Amino acid sequence: MRILVVSRVDDERAVSYAAGIAETLRGLSHDVVLEEALAARLGGPGVVLGKAGADLAVVIGGDGSVLHTIQGLKEQVPVLGINWGEVGFLAELEPAEAPRFLENLREGFRVEKRMRIGITLDGTPLGDALNEAVIVTSRPAKMLRFTVEVDGILAERFRADGMLVSTPTGSTAYAMSAGGPIVDPRIEGFLLVPLAPYMLSSRPIVIASDRVLRITLESEKPAKLVLDGQRTRELARGAVLTVRRSGEPALFVDVGRSFFDKVDQKLRRL
């Protein structure tokens, strides 16, 4: 297999560990390429994420590293995350257990698909998000006003510090901290979560993924749209965001670990 190795590069131990993983994979006769930032730290040639042409991406880091990799891939390939972060909910393996798993990894491994959401701004595609799209005010302590339509029908109008549209995968991230429910990632749907809403009646809503969500920013105040914590776009008054299920899901190597075990180990026992 052609395997891309990606790592956070702000931690010397992570870089060193990534170099060891690359050598382990080469020893198993895989064609190994390094992402350009990691390669630069190790003093060798590297490849751009979107041009790796890999069959598998091994990512050493936390959730941010995994999201960065998925955002950078031109075409989605299976991702195997090795946790080198705080919680690492998207990283399936811990550093000590990863080498043995990789030694037993063969072509034909099981892959889990994770729904992503596709975002357009006034009809222009902005990209996909695996965790969430967040609209927040650019000015602290200022509220925003939103109108939400589902399949063309007015569903909600409210004021809040911001709004979050999450996938089930993202329900254990920002959405959970904002008061949203934890959703089994096998369920496909949008999770709409107001951030510090003014009215008690403004509650999180779960919407079927075959519907079209349309969000209009009605405030004069400046706002920003953030996709997966990786991409940021300024929003003006009257901006219309359309949210649909992406046609290209993210792909994760299935290591046989239950989602609910991870919730118990990584969220309840922190």
CB 33 within 8 A of CB 48: no
- CA of residue 182 relative to chain centroid, distance: 15
Catalytic residue among 63, 128, 161, 228: 63
- CA dist., res. 234 & res. 178, Å (int): 22
Provide the β-strand partners of residue 111: 253
Q: Which residues contact 79 (CB under 8 A, 6 or more apart)?
A: 56, 57, 59, 66, 69, 70, 250, 251, 252, 253
Provide the β-strand partners of residue 112: 252
The token pair at 57 is 């991406």
Q: Is 63 part of the annotated catalytic residue set?
A: yes
Q: Which residues are tagged catalytic?
A: 63
